A = this chain, B = another copy of it.
Amino acid sequence: MAILKKSRNLHTEDNTGFGSNSSNYSGRFFNRDTGGANVRRTGIGLLNRYSWYHTMLGMKRGKFLSLLFLVYISVNLLFAAIYYLIGVEHLAGIERGHDLKELSEVFFFSTQTFTTVGYGRISPTGFLTSAVATFEAFLGLLSFAIATGLFYGRFSRPQAFLKFSEQALVAPHNEGMALMFRMAPFKNNLLSDAEVKLTLAMEVEEDGKKTDKFFTLATQISKINSLALSWTLVHPIDEQSPLLGMTGEDIRNTDLELMIFVKAFDEVYSNTVVARWSYINTEIIWGGRFKLMYHPSEDKSHTILDLSMLNDWTPAELPTSVKSGNTNKLPE
């Protein structure tokens, strides 16, 4: 339970978008996996609730390709059925035989039409069959037009390609201590003008009532010119910090979440990219220090950034004077 005293008069944030009475909000605010808010929508039709384009862009690659293939097979099965019902005699060149054989011939004629391969061994002759084939070829080309757009949308979608440390650490800092976490770009993109915003959601007791409060946490450096190496964010736990006076045990027992929002400029896409991450109470280590994760190459010609070390830290003794500190001793 947070032992935040009202007398500290800390500035709380009212414009987080989670409502002023946040006891109506439950669970983790942000999902690390989806990078989105932990909200479910009801009272609206399924088709209206989702932007199919956003869904297609967010889908994992394997699932996306499987879906395309599934649509391809389904549409062709449908058209095969239509051609079959019209009559296989209207398909010149088809090999006649038992039903299954004819069906498969019709299906392959359909795929040859949909993809516009059109070998021509089988070709439509009657009006109706020809008309359906005319429509199918049109539909096929539009489908691939849509697929082209989806592919482009997927891979041109600006992404930050940032990895965050799994844990945040409370580390010794100057005379006192600071909350730290770090991030590193893991791909061959080049980010500049990176900017970080930290919001802490914490359940506090006010007048005997528990409510969730939001605080903006200050960091020593919140903007960086270019994000080439790892970047360690440092929030000093000082009088401006709502964390001042809390012990490791306090943090473990308090329902809190540190939400991170990064905005940067990707120089290849020439576009703004964003990344989100969050740490809840069990993901904050009391007393630790990150190991340096980059070093010069042997020939001193370039710098090596070792991404496997992103989560590497060593235990560190925190200053006892502050560690044992409690809110009663705070300057007011």
- Which positions in A face B, CB cutoff 8 Å? 13-19, 24-27, 35-44, 48-55, 57-58, 68-69, 72, 76, 92-93, 95, 104, 107-108, 111-113, 115-125, 127, 130-131, 133-134, 137-138, 140-142, 144-149, 151-153, 155-159, 161, 186-190, 192, 194, 197, 199, 221, 223-229, 231, 261, 265, 267-274, 276, 292, 294-297, 300-309
Contact = CB atoms under 8 A, between A and B. Distances in A.
Main secondary structure of the interface of A (DSSP, over half): mixed
Contacts of A146: 151
Given A24-B295, A121-B120, A188-B51, A18 B229 contact: yes
Contact of A307 (B41, B57, B186): B41
Given A51-B187, A95-B125, A149-B156, A305 B41 contact: yes
A125 B105 CA distance: 8
B270 A270 contact: no
A57 B271 CA distance: 14
A84 to B, nearest CB: 16
A141 B118 contact: no
Contacts of A296: 24-27
A39 B229 contact: yes
